[in-house]
Amino acid sequence: MNFHAVSVVYRKELTEWLRDRRTLISTVVVPLLAFPLLIGGMISLSTVLIGQAQKEVPKVMIIGGEDSPAVIAALRENKEIEIVPYSDNWKEAITEKKIRAAVEVPADFQDSLEKGTAATVKIDYYQGEIKSEFGADHVNESLKAYRDEVIKKRLQAKDIPASLISPFETKKQNVAPPEKVGGATFGGLIGYMVILLCMTGAIYPAIDLTAGEKERGTMETILSSPVSRLYLVLGKFCLVLSAALATASLSVFSMGVSFSLIRRFGGSTGNRGEAVQLLFQLGPKAVISVFFMALPLAVLFSAALMTIALFAKTYKEAQSYLTPMTFLVVIPAVASLLPGVELTPKLALIPILSTSLVCKEIMTGTYHWGSMSLIFASSCVYAAAAIFLAVKTFQRESVLFRS
Amino acid sequence: MIEARSLSKRFQDKKRGEIRAVDNVSFTCQPGKIYGLLGANGAGKTTTLRMLATILEPTDGTAIICGFDVVEQPEKVRANVGFLSTATALYPRLSAQEMVEYFGRLNGLDEATLKKRVDDIFNRLDMNGFRDRRCDKLSTGMKQKTSIARTLVHDPPVMIFDEPTLGLDIMTARTITSFIRECRDRGKTVIFSTHIMAEVEKLCDVIGIIQSGKLLAEGTLAELRAKYAEQDLEEIFVKVVGPLHAQAEAQAI
C-alpha cells in the first residue's frame, strides 16, 4: 500500500475542492448561514407572534346575564379582558376577529345558582386562532375564580372546612433526565440531519471527481500518470468522505451555535425556550457518539455515490443518477423518526434505518452497547463492500471510457 | 524503444456486435526516431496509442516499452512514458506550476528533484510569466506548454502523442511540432498519430498507415514512395487505405 501516492492525490483534490466556489456554497455557506437564519427566524417569529397575542387585551362580549349581575361583575373585574357592548352578530364578530370570544350567560343564572341547580355558561371562541384561545382562557379563569368563590361561601355558610372538597392534592413529576426530554424532542432529528448531510455533502464532490473529471477531459491525463488506479480512487474517495463529514459537522456546529445564541439572547419563550435549553444538556458525548455511528454510513455514501457517478459521462448525467439516491436515504431515515419504530436485531442489519434509530436512542441518553456495536459492524461491512465496488468500477475500461 | 506485438483491442457494441478497433498490430519505434501513425478518424490510432500508454488494456497481444510489458507492468511503463493528446486536459483550478508539480509527485519525484526539474522546464519553455495562473485562465498556447511541461516532468524516454495538434491554431501547433522534434533530438523514442499529411511529411522518420484497426503499410517516406510509385503522400495513403475504407463506409451505412 503506497500511502504517499494516496496522500498526493488527496492533497491535490483537496486544493481543487477548496478553490471551487460551488463547494464553498454547499459545504460552508449554506450550513453556516442557513441554519442560524432558519432556526433563528422561525423561533423569533413565533416568539414575536406569541408575545403579541399575549400582550393583546382580548375583546370579549357578554351575551345575556342581565339578571345575573354578580357573574358579570366578576368578569368585568378581570383586567386581562375588555368587555365590549353586546351586538347581535357576535358569532361573525369572532370569525372576523373583531372580538376574540363571547360568554353566554343563561337566563336566570343567578337564580339557579342560589337554588343549587347547575347551569352552563358557554364560552364561544375560534379554535386554532391563538388570540381567540387566549381570550377564551382568560374568560375561563375568571369564571373558575368566581365558581371557587361561590363554593367557598357555601362551605363557610355550612361551617365546613375547605379541605372537604379537595381531600388530597396531585402533582405531576418528571423522572426522565433532561437529556431524555430534549432527546425526545430533537434527538431523532439530529441523527437524521447528520445522516442526510453526510449524503448531501458527498454528492457534489463524488460527481466532480468522477463524471466531472471525464467531462473536463482530465481523466485521460490522470490515467497516464504512473500512480495506480487503486491509489487514485482511494485518494478521491478520501476527499469525498472528508467533504461529507465536513458538511455534517459544520451543519451540526452551526445548529448548535444558533440554538445557544437563541437561548442566550432570545430569553425564555415558553415551551420552546425549555426545549432549546434541554437540547444543550445533550452534551458533547451524545453528539460525538452520533458522529461515530454515522462514520461508516458516510463511508458507504461516499463510495456508493462515486461508483454511480463514475458511470456518467457528464456532470448533468451524474446529477440525474444521484438525485433519486437521496430518497433511498431519506425514506429509512424518516421511517426511524416515526413513533413506535423500535430497534430490533433484524432492523439493526438494515443500513441507514438502523443508524438513524440508534442515534435517536443515543440522543435520549440510552446507550445499548450491544446493538450499537452490531450496527457499527454491519454498517462497516456495507461500507467496505461499497469501497470494494468503487475500486473495481474504477478499474473497468468500459466505465471509464463509456461512449 | 516501443515494440508492439500483435496488439489487438476488441469492444462489444450493442448494435454492431464485436468491433475490432485494433487488429493484430505489430511495429517497432526506435530511440531518436519519430514514428508517425497515419490514419483516418476511427482507424484505430487513438486506441493503439492508449494501449501503449496503458490507459487501455489490450484484448490480445502486448507491447514492450523500455523493457516493460504494458500488460504485466503497466505502472512501470507509465513511469517511462509521456502521454499527450488533445483529450488530456489540465485541472482548471490548479495553477500551471501546481499542475506540473502534481504530476512530478505522482511520478514519485522527491521535492528537491521536483523543484529543480520544474524550474528547469519552466525556464526552457518560457513559462515563468504564467506560473501561478490557474489553468482555466490560460490561453490555448499556454495550456499546450503546460501540458508539455506535465509530460516532461519525469523526463520519460518514450513520448506518445495522440493527434497533438488537433484543433489548434498554426502558432500553437508549431509549438507542439517543434517540441516533438526536440524530443527526437534528445534521443527519445517518439510515436505520434495524425491525419494531417503535411505533419507526417515534415516530422516522421517512419510512417505507419492504419485503417480499420489494421496496420496496412509501414516504412520511411522514401520507401513508401518507391513501393507505391507515388510522390505525394496523400496519393499513397489513398492507394493503401482505399479498398478497406470503402468497405468500412459501406458497413457503417
d(CA A261, CA B58): 63
B102 shares contact with chain A (CB less than 8 Å): yes
DSSP helix/strand/coil, B162:
strand
Per the DSSP assignment, residues forming a β-bridge with A263 are none
3-state SS of A99-149 is CCEEEEECCCHHHHHHHCCCCCCEEECCCCCHHHHHHHHHHHHHHHHHHHH
R_g (Cα) of chain A, nearest Å: 32
Residue A170: pLDDT band (50, 70, 90) is: confident
Cβ separation A224–B57 shorter than 8 A: no
CB B149 within 8 A of CB B127: yes
Determine the residue of chain B that is closest to A208 in CA distance. B91
Cβ separation B106–A5 shorter than 8 A: yes
B102: which chain A residues are within 8 Å (Cβ-Cβ)? Answer: 8, 12
Taking the CA of residue A242 and the nearest CA in chain B, the distance in Å comes to 19
The pLDDT value given to residue A261: 67
Taking the CA of residue B77 and the nearest CA in chain A, the distance in Å comes to 8
| pLDDT tens-digit map of A336-375 | 877 777 778 888 888 888 888 888 888 777 788 888 899 9
Q: What letter does residue B194 receive in the DSSP assignment?
A: E
CB B203 within 8 A of CB B47: no
- Reported as type and span, the H/E element at residue B131 is none
The pLDDT value given to residue A44: 76
d(CA A292, CA A142): 55
Range scoring the smallest mean pLDDT among A21-30, A121-130, A191-200, B3-12: A21-30
For A224, which of B78, B90, B91 is closest by C-beta distance?
B78
CB B100 within 8 A of CB B121: yes
Per the DSSP assignment, residues forming a β-bridge with B217 are B209
CB A7 within 8 A of CB A238: no
The pLDDT value given to residue A385: 96
> Residues A128-135: what's their mean pLDDT?
84
CB A289 within 8 A of CB A375: no
Range scoring the smallest mean pLDDT among A177-191, A321-335, A384-398: A177-191
C-alpha cell at B22: 485494433
For A226, which of B57, B78, B89 is closest by C-beta distance?
B78
Taking the CA of residue B83 and the nearest CA in chain A, the distance in Å comes to 6
Residue A112 CA, distance from chain mean position = 52
d(CA B180, CA B165): 11
Percentage of the residues of chain A whose pLDDT score is greater than 90: 27
Cβ separation A217–B75 shorter than 8 A: no
The pLDDT value given to residue A280: 53
- What residues have CB less than 8 Å from A265, skipping those under 6 apart? none
CA B230, B236, B241: angle at the middle one, nearest 5?
150
A218 shares contact with chain B (CB less than 8 Å): yes
The pLDDT value given to residue B151: 92
B98 shares contact with chain A (CB less than 8 Å): yes
C-alpha cell at A4: 504517499
The pLDDT value given to residue A265: 61
Q: Is the pLDDT of residue A275 over 60?
A: no
Q: Is the pLDDT of residue A269 over 50?
A: no
Backbone phi and psi for residue B21, each to the nearest 5 degrees, phi listed first: -70, -40
Cβ separation A220–B106 shorter than 8 A: no
Query: By C-alpha distance, which of B192, B200, B189, B187 is closest to B236?
Result: B200
C-alpha cell at A69: 349581575
Query: By C-alpha distance, which of A391, A400, A222, A234 is closest to A311?
Result: A400
- What residues have CB less than 8 Å from A384, skipping those under 6 apart? none
Backbone phi and psi for residue A97, each to the nearest 5 degrees, phi listed first: 65, 20
The two beta strands, B34-38 and A59-64, are: unpaired
d(CA A12, CA A121): 77
| pLDDT tens-digit map of A10-67 | 999 999 999 988 877 877 887 777 777 777 777 777 778 777 777 778 888 888 888 8
Question: Which residues of chain B carry a pLDDT beneath 50?
Answer: none
